[in-house]
Amino acid sequence: MTGDLLAGRAAIVTGAAQGIGLAIARLLHEHGAGVALLDLDQERAAEAAAGLDGESKVLALGCDVTDENSVAQAVERTVEEFGGLDIHVNNAGITRDASLGKMSVDDFDAVVNVHLRGTWLGVRAASAIMRKAGRGSIVNISSLSGKSGNPGQTNYSAAKAGIVGLTKASAKELAHKGVRVNAVQPGLIRTAMTQAMPPEVFAEREAAIPMRRAGEPAEVAGAVLFLASDLSSYMTGAVLEVGGGRLM
């Protein structure tokens, strides 16, 4: 799918070297946006950026989303390259699954820092640019784990639930400045992370989905494109579930 929904706009996608982040970056680029692909691994981000076809610019940047200066520098560099920032997608994430009795404090902190602190830093840095311009769309990637909770994911579920609260609070703060903040909650999506699950666990979760299949990264990207574009111009603080009907 190609088009010009985002022609002339500039976007940042974090965690964009693979999986859902790369699918989002690709679709935004296909619709005319200049896209900065941010990832902790700059080399992989560069490889991903090289694979994007289109006339709009692409930029690959190394970024630690838990580090305030790293995030600020990435946003600054994007604005320098593209002349502004219209779309910011906070997608970067990790997992460190374990039961409560076995999860270390370090693993709890690592997941919460990447997902929740990282999203907060992204919202703060992007909105500082967008407030001055009087427009912009920020899309935060939560998860259905943040709605229902998953055993073995007290860290991940807590962080993803926190992203929903962060989305709604920041949407209320920024609406009068023309900046929209929305969230997407993917369900079971075919990525390297989910395909590393034990096959029997994956099959059990897939069978519980009303549509009887896992989703594809491109299907999450479609929801992000909608929220990033003017098609959703009167939406802010919304949470879109992309889960095949799971937990509805």
Active site residues: 156
CA angle 130, 226, 111 (to 5 degrees): 70
Q: Say if residues 182 and 236 touch (Cβ distance below 8 Å).
A: yes
- Total residues found in the chain within this entry: 248
Closest listed residue to residue 34, CA positions, set 91, 74, 77, 87 = 87
List the one residue out of 52, 50, 60, 63 whose CA is nearest residue 28.
Answer: 52
Can you tell me the distance from the alpha carbon of 59 to that of 82, in angstroms, rounded to the nearest whole number?
A: 9
Distance CA 217, CA 200 (A): 21
Report which secondary-structure segment, H or E, holds 162.
helix 154-174
Q: What are φ and ψ of residue 111, in 5° steps?
A: -70, -45
Environment class of residue 155 by beta-carbon count within 10 Å: exposed (0-12), middle (13-18) or buried (19+)? buried
Whose tokens are 């404090």? That residue is 105
Of 201, 185, 208, which is closest to residue 97 (Cα–Cα)? 201
Closest CA to 132 of 179, 181, 69: 179
